[in-house]
Structure 1
Amino acid sequence: MQTTKKLSLTSRIVIGMISGIVLGACLQWFLAGQDERNIPLFLFDLPVKAFFIDGLFHIGGQIFIASLQMLVVPLVFISLVCGTCSLSDASTLGRLGAKSVGLYLVTTAIAITLAITAALLIGPGVGVDMQTDTTFSTAEAPGLAQVIINMFPRNPINAMAEGNMLQIIIFAVLFGIATAMSGKPGERIADLFQDLNAIVMKLVTILMNLAPYGVFCLMVRVFSTMGLDMFSSLAAYFFVVLGVLLLHGFVTYPLLLKLLTGLNPVIFMRKMRAAALFAFSTSSSNATIPVTLETVTKKLGVKNSIGSFTVPLGATINMDGTAIMQGVATVFIAQVFGVDLSLTDFLMVILTATLASVGTAGVPGVGLIMLAMVLQQVGLPVEGIALIIGVDRLLDMTRTSVNITGDSMVSCVIAKSEKQLDETVFNDPEAGRNDEESVDFKHIHNS
């Protein structure tokens, strides 16, 4: 008897995503600008927007996001403790941190430089005469000194409850170092955390198998509510940002990977597909941490001692996609309002956006908040942000995919430099596939 080959997780996510986009577009066409329309179903007339868009699909998508976010704090804390315990000395950890932060800041500076250059060459805001009565207000962003102070938790339990990644990372690293220095008690705690890590990673695998359904619900919701009128008027801005995002994701990262490690960038990009699709659908680097870490360690061959440090750190401070949006948006808003920016202003934008990425949370839409800080630095009206809000949702999804690709690339580079990369796993096209397909829900009850 011939058995049919099971679709890979990536294929199932793509099917879920395309199906959601098509259904969402159909629902938007069906509503055709109306607030509500009903469709007959059995004995009931169901309101499309209230029951399906704001009800069924909204609930399904939010449960999927909440399930991923549920795992972030325990996964980051447990993985970091395990990874720190396995490091032989504090100098190794210091070297690891310096390399990671340095490389993340370099890629962010490259990203915003590309963005500003492309925006100046193309001029998406030239000739655009837009006025808006909408204002965009935000609390003043904390200074660099305050960002550094806020990295250290006063209450680690509170930091976990609030999902403050930098504080969780600091506490987990200190806890791991203390565990490694505590002799026999430390060995027992380290064994416990290794077991906990295995359980959490299995939970990640279970949730990954539900991803196609969650992605479907998210895509229906987004594309049924996304208006095309604003998109058409901001097409130039949209495509400049999208083009630079694709350039950075498909050229800068593979080029850096090849130059710094000699690894095959084609293999890397293929193995990033599922994680990138997750990031696209969730618009959250933090919510994608479980999937990114699974990809880095099981598909790309990065040892957990490296990946457990670089991936959460990258989700917190590596915001290349956000920096690209900020660079293009700054030039666009300056052109729309007829403000000429000097070379000093552009250098200030590069520096501010790069440093702002350290304090940017990996959650949907936060890039707009940080853009306000960048605009204030060069004297541009913060109200200009209201011009680009309409198309930012789709760009937010794309730049999150770029962000987590950068996190994974840096993880590979750091692991290679520390001799903590299993190149056999990296070059194996089937690596990680068995883990993706390993959960058979029919047998969970019997096992």
Structure 2
Amino acid sequence: MTSNSTSPISHNKQKMSLTGRIVIGMIAGILLGSLLQWLMPNGSDKVFNLYFFDVSLRSLFVDGFLEVIGQIFMASLRMLVVPLVFVSLVCGVCSLKDTSKLGRIGGKAIALYLATTAIAISFAIFVALIISPGEGVNMPTSSSFTSREAPSLAQVIIQMFPTNPFASFAQGNMLQVIVFALLFGIAIALSGKAGERIASLFEDLNEVIMRLVAILMNIAPYGVFALLATLFTTVSLETFGNLIVYFLVVFFVLLLHATVTYPVILKLLTGLNPVIFIKKMRDAAIFAFSTASSNATIPVTLETATRKMGVKNSIASFTVPLGATINMDGTAIMQGVATVFIAQVFSQDLTLADYITVVLTATLASIGTAGVPGVGLIMLAMVLEQVGLPVEGIALIIGVDRLLDMTRTAVNVTGDSMVSIIVAKSEEQFDESMYLDSQAGHTIEDIDFHHLNNEESK
């Protein structure tokens, strides 16, 4: 009796939360990366002579040890994305007895995602025009930056439907995976007894995948440490130069969108306390910032939405993966500010019609934007071409885009959770008592694998 009552206390003292460990990993990675940059300025290398061998600090430690750890961590997360999305989405669709309900949920989610994206880029353009981050620079267009042609809306819709679902799985085409999962889930729901047996199998698969998610999340601080240490060997404050104003404008709009726009929408459409929402998004937002990938953060976003926010899995398993694919508010903000910045740098005036075109293009293009690091720059090239701006202007912002990419990913996953709550509440698939409970959810960070193994062995 005594041991049972004291063990949780000793466990809490010994084990730090996932959030705390990730923050420590981030700080340690930034400090180590900055130190390595000081030792190896301007991309140079430092060679140490150990006995009869010359050891390169960059090739052995940065491009070797740290790069291997960071990339293995990211690969492990990406490994989970397709099976997690497919299995959880099939499970969610199976649980919807009324298939007409699925169309209603999808319509609400897509409408909200596109609306928030349009608001985000409109707000970004408005703020950028007021502050004018690129005013006074008269840069001639010289270099060439090639980009692929932006797909039409018709092409985007057609490409959502897979001709070979196994190829979609292998290529990680999330829109096609989502469409196939929806169709497969509907078929299971309509297949009577046979469908019930298959649904039971998918429920078991979902439990196994979630356990794998828990294991990988517990090693996240080490992966975050390696990723940021590698990044900060090349990025420093000096890199920003004249782009510091652009950087601050994008960061300001991202922060305002996450802490003002989303809470206001949540309050207006649900009446819920937005302060609770911001507090409960902490873990997912920090993890999204660390990985700069909405897709890689899907497991944590699902965990937050279902076990902290009170969204039923039948809703979250659909809205969260869908949001990771089509909800690119953070990317839209970057595209809006960057468009104004590049236009001012190259002294090109844009009309109101041009800005409307930017809003529409970025909003619709976000449907086909993959939730992986750096893809926003490719989408920006499409947006710039639509209004006749020199695409080589992208080269100006590449140096600071990685840090902004991390921030806008945190904004994206916050929007995913917000939309999930709104849709769930409108469908009466929302546990408000869980939302109001500050201690709700047995989160990933609290899992004691030693304790679980002991329980399972009994």
Same fold judged by TM-score > 0.5? Answer: yes
Structure 1 residue corresponding to 2:266, chosen from 238, 257, 261: 257
> What is the rounded CA distance, in whole Å, between the counterparts of 1:141 and 1:34 in structure 2?
35
Partner of residue 3, structure 2: none
Aligned-residue offset at 1:42 = 9.4
Structure 2 residue corresponding to 1:248, chosen from 232, 257, 260: 257
Partner of residue 312, structure 1: 321
| Equivalent runs, 1:153-172 vs 2, <5 Å | 153-172=162-181
Are the counterparts in 2 of residues 132 and 387 from structure 1 also a CA contact under 8 Å? Answer: no
| Equivalent runs, 1:117-132 vs 2, <5 Å | 117-130=126-139
Structure 2 residue corresponding to 1:81, chosen from 74, 85, 90: 90
Aligned-residue offset at 1:306 = 0.3
Instruction: Point out the more displaced range, 83-92 or 111-120.
Output: 83-92
Aligned-residue offset at 1:142 = 1.4
Are the counterparts in 1 of residues 34 and 236 from structure 2 also a CA contact under 8 Å? Answer: no
Structure 2 residue corresponding to 1:331, chosen from 336, 340, 345: 340
Q: Normalising to structure 2: TM-score of the pair?
A: 0.94
Aligned-residue offset at 1:33 = 2.5
Percentage of pairs with the same residue: 66
> What is the rounded CA distance, in whole Å, between the counterparts of 2:122 and 2:196 in structure 1?
47
Are the counterparts in 2 of residues 61 and 214 from structure 1 also a CA contact under 8 Å? Answer: yes
Query: What amino acid is the match of 2:102?
Result: L
> What is the rounded CA distance, in whole Å, between the counterparts of 1:380 and 1:156 in structure 2?
38
Structure 2 residue corresponding to 1:354, chosen from 340, 354, 363: 363
| Equivalent runs, 1:89-108 vs 2, <5 Å | 89-108=98-117
Q: Deviations over 1:357-390 (max 9, x none)?
A: 1111111111111111111111111111111111
Query: What amino acid is the match of 1:152?
Result: F
Secondary structure of the residue aligned to 2:55 is strand
Query: What amino acid is the match of 1:363?
Result: V
Q: 1:188 to 1:9 in 2, by over 3 A?
A: same
Aligned residue pairs total 447
> What is the rounded CA distance, in whole Å, between the counterparts of 2:433 and 2:31 in structure 1?
39
| Equivalent runs, 1:282-431 vs 2, <5 Å | 282-431=291-440
Aligned-residue offset at 1:441 = 5.5
> What is the rounded CA distance, in whole Å, between the counterparts of 1:385 and 1:325 in structure 2?
11
Is 1:440 aligned with 2:445? Answer: no
Structure 1 residue corresponding to 2:198, chosen from 184, 189, 197: 189
Aligned-residue offset at 1:45 = 5.6
Instruction: Point out the more displaced range, 249-258 or 317-326.
Output: 249-258
Instruction: Point out the more displaced range, 259-268 or 431-440.
Output: 431-440
Are the counterparts in 1 of residues 303 and 443 from structure 2 also a CA contact under 8 Å? Answer: no
> What is the rounded CA distance, in whole Å, between the counterparts of 1:46 and 1:442 in structure 2?
43
Are the counterparts in 2 of residues 209 and 439 from structure 1 also a CA contact under 8 Å? Answer: no
Q: Deviations over 1:41-95 (max 9, x none)?
A: 7996632211111111111111111111111111111111111011122210010
Are the counterparts in 2 of residues 279 and 288 from structure 1 also a CA contact under 8 Å? Answer: yes
Q: Deviations over 1:295-343 (max 9, x none)?
A: 1111111111000100111011110001001100111111111111111
Are the counterparts in 2 of residues 134 and 386 from structure 1 also a CA contact under 8 Å? Answer: no
Q: 1:435 to 1:335 in 2, by over 3 A?
A: closer
> What is the rounded CA distance, in whole Å, between the counterparts of 2:398 and 2:141 in structure 1?
12
> What is the rounded CA distance, in whole Å, between the counterparts of 1:315 and 1:42 in structure 2?
51
| Equivalent runs, 1:12-161 vs 2, <5 Å | 12-33=21-42, 35-39=44-48, 46-130=55-139, 134-161=143-170
> What is the rounded CA distance, in whole Å, between the counterparts of 1:132 and 1:387 in structure 2?
12
Q: CA RMSD in A?
A: 1.9
Q: Normalising to structure 1: TM-score of the pair?
A: 0.96
| Equivalent runs, 1:164-243 vs 2, <5 Å | 164-243=173-252
Unaligned ranges ≥5, structure 2: 1-5
Are the counterparts in 1 of residues 165 and 177 from structure 2 also a CA contact under 8 Å? Answer: yes
> What is the rounded CA distance, in whole Å, between the counterparts of 1:233 and 1:41 in structure 2?
42
Query: What amino acid is the match of 1:142?
Result: P
Are the counterparts in 2 of residues 376 and 382 from structure 1 also a CA contact under 8 Å? Answer: yes
Query: What amino acid is the match of 2:183?
Result: L
> What is the rounded CA distance, in whole Å, between the counterparts of 1:433 and 1:120 in structure 2?
46
Query: What amino acid is the match of 1:265?
Result: P
Secondary structure of the residue aligned to 1:46 is strand
